[in-house]
Structure 1
Amino acid sequence: MKKSFPLLSTLIVALTASYFLIPLYATFQFSLQMIRGTWSFEAYRSVFNSEVFFATVSFSAVASLAAIVVGILIVVPTAYWVRLKLPRLRPLVEFISLMPLIIPPVVLVFGYIRLFGSDSILPFTMSNTGTNVLLVAGYVVLSLPYMYRSVDNGMAAIDITTLTEAAESLGASRLRTIAGVIFPNVRAAIVSGAFLTFSISFGEFVIASLLNRPAFGPYLVQIGQDRAYEPAALAIMSFALIWACMVLMQLFAARKPGRRLLPRPAIKSARRVTP
């Protein structure tokens, strides 16, 4: 039987796509009009010729990657331990992970300044390194809801109890179990949370601005106050970077996890006892 063309679904998809693509196209067209009477990439050339652009992009990229690493090291063991040993505390942990969506970032950064300012026991804001640490901590907090949800959903798809018992019965420690068994099996979920963290942190403005950090978000706002066409070019480039991250996320998430579920020493032990 020949299926009918999904007209309604196609119309909904087209309207949804136009809601995003039409303003994006208008922004791109405006970014090409820096030279009156012709279209050119002069605005993009002006952006790439700026040393401040590369400095802010590199700073935000490093800070975002640091937030990803810290977030993974905190969220993965926490989600694993809650699912394995403390299932009754899951509602509480999920509620805590959603708090960054309730508390505004401006409240968070003023709390950091109050706790770690010049009059506190740990004056992090008195040095660039300490302030950068606070910035990364803020990024970790902002991305916590997305990272935790991604990792928790990934662990829900595997039997962590059986994997843990199998690894420990072959002599693997709890830390080796997490690193060699849990991490490979929730790799796609970790990658999804990592790219969401990068997308949130890279263009963040409030925390970076109030901590006076040379990040990409404050730079984008500042250049938008002084110029007209370069901010449009920066917006298009930031969209392209985020879309590239989403494509990478899909590629990594589509790959199947490795077949090796146990650490190598445990596999060797199993082979020795196999008749």
Structure 2
Amino acid sequence: MKSERFGPWLAMVLGTLYFVVPLIATFEFSLRKRRGVYSFDAYASVFSDSRFIESFGYSTFIALLTIVVGVLLVVPTAYVIRLRMPRIRPVVEFITLLPLVIPAIVIVFGYLRLYNSSSFLPLTGTARSTDLLLVFAYVVLAMPYMYRAVDTGLRAIDVKTLTEAAESLGASWWTILFKVILPNVRVAVLSGAFLTFAIVIGEFTIASLLNRPAFGPYLQLVGANSAYEPSALAVIAFVVTWACMGLIQLFGSGIRGSSAAPR
């Protein structure tokens, strides 16, 4: 019995060290900006940089738009497929996996060629239209995670019974979708939303080639001109990402607890 437990524990310890040791080293290096003593000067320099605030605020706004568009696209699609067209579910799953296979640089060059200023739909002509194109690109990048999160949530509930019960009470399709189905899969939607947020905050390729002032290009710019600030930014990005993961657990536990409470 002891030998059976030793293997999993050893694998977990080695995996934790593989993950944590580089992070600790990065954090330790970010504290060395002041020679001979540890300090948070690199972090102070980052937070005092107006470009950091602007880029992080811009990426946060784009991430929120991406989440809204993604939810409005994925939830109805996954619901209809689950309820009415289960046979095409493998095809849709394959399509949603394509962003994991096709490199982001290929996607963005396709967008630039399709939506340039001389095309029938010039989305790169102005800053606002380019922002819209960036949101659409991020929706595509986040599609594998958002779709699977929502699909997993729909599997956990009896979609057909809920729909039939709501229809028997005279509910319209939109009422069923947003007042019956969506509240029952909100934990899954939150999971997909926070994963989307983490993806958008750290994305570089598409934002850089579309020349948008996002957080990813700012990270690259600082890394090319400074030594300690990039390490500080890497730690900050890590904290933001894991904060999103923590919020998934926090909101998920709260919602499950309120659902289980007697009424």
Normalized against structure 1, the TM-score is what? 0.91
Superposed displacement of residue 8, structure 1: 2.9
Superposed displacement of residue 10, structure 1: 2.2
Aligned ranges for residues 22-61 of structure 1 at < 5 Å? 22-61=21-60
Work out the CA distance in 2 between the residues paired with 1:33 and 1:258. 46
**Consecutive unaligned residues in structure 2, runs of 5 or more:** none
Superposed displacement of residue 148, structure 1: 0.3
Q: What residue number does 2:62 align with?
A: 63
Counterpart contact for 1:185–1:258, Cα < 8 Å:
no
Work out the CA distance in 2 between the residues paired with 1:202 and 1:73. 21
Q: What residue number does 2:169 align with?
A: 170
For residues 146-178 of structure 1, what are the alpha-carbon distances to aligned partners after superposition, in whole Å with 9 as ceiling and x for unaligned? Answer: 100010011011110000000010010011000
User: Could you tell me the percent identity over the aligned residues?
Assistant: 55
Superposed displacement of residue 114, structure 1: 1.1
> Is 1:7–2:6 an aligned residue pair?
yes
Q: What residue number does 1:99 align with?
A: 98
Work out the CA distance in 1 between the residues paired with 2:38 and 2:120. 57
* Greater Cα offset, 111-120 or 163-172: 111-120
Cα gap change, 1:169 to 1:257, in 2 (>3 Å): farther
Q: What residue number does 1:229 align with?
A: 228
Q: Specify the SS of the correspondent of 1:126.
A: coil
Q: What residue number does 2:72 align with?
A: 73
Q: Specify the SS of the correspondent of 1:123.
A: coil
Work out the CA distance in 1 between the residues paired with 2:208 and 2:150. 30
Work out the CA distance in 2 between the residues paired with 1:168 and 1:175. 11
Q: What residue number does 2:245 align with?
A: 246
Work out the CA distance in 1 between the residues paired with 2:135 and 2:107. 13
Work out the CA distance in 1 between the residues paired with 2:157 and 2:16. 34
Aligned ranges for residues 123-202 of structure 1 at < 5 Å? 123-202=122-201
Q: What residue number does 2:120 align with?
A: 121
Q: Specify the SS of the correspondent of 2:157.
A: coil
Work out the CA distance in 2 between the residues paired with 1:9 and 1:109. 42
**Greater C-alpha Rg:** 1
Q: Specify the SS of the correspondent of 1:218.
A: helix
Work out the CA distance in 2 between the residues paired with 1:4 and 1:218. 50
Cα gap change, 1:81 to 1:258, in 2 (>3 Å): farther
Superposed displacement of residue 4, structure 1: 5.4
Residue type of the alignment partner of 1:256: R
Q: What residue number does 2:256 align with?
A: 256
**Consecutive unaligned residues in structure 1, runs of 5 or more:** 260-275
Q: Specify the SS of the correspondent of 2:29.
A: helix
Work out the CA distance in 1 between the residues paired with 2:173 and 2:114. 34
Work out the CA distance in 2 between the residues paired with 1:185 and 1:223. 43
Work out the CA distance in 2 between the residues paired with 1:106 and 1:115. 14
Residue type of the alignment partner of 2:81: V
Q: Number of matched residues?
A: 258
Work out the CA distance in 1 between the residues paired with 2:162 and 2:107. 38
Superposed displacement of residue 258, structure 1: 6.3
* Greater Cα offset, 57-66 or 246-255: 246-255
Tell me the C-alpha RMSD between the 2 structures. 1.5
Cα gap change, 1:256 to 1:7, in 2 (>3 Å): same
Work out the CA distance in 1 between the residues paired with 2:123 and 2:142. 22
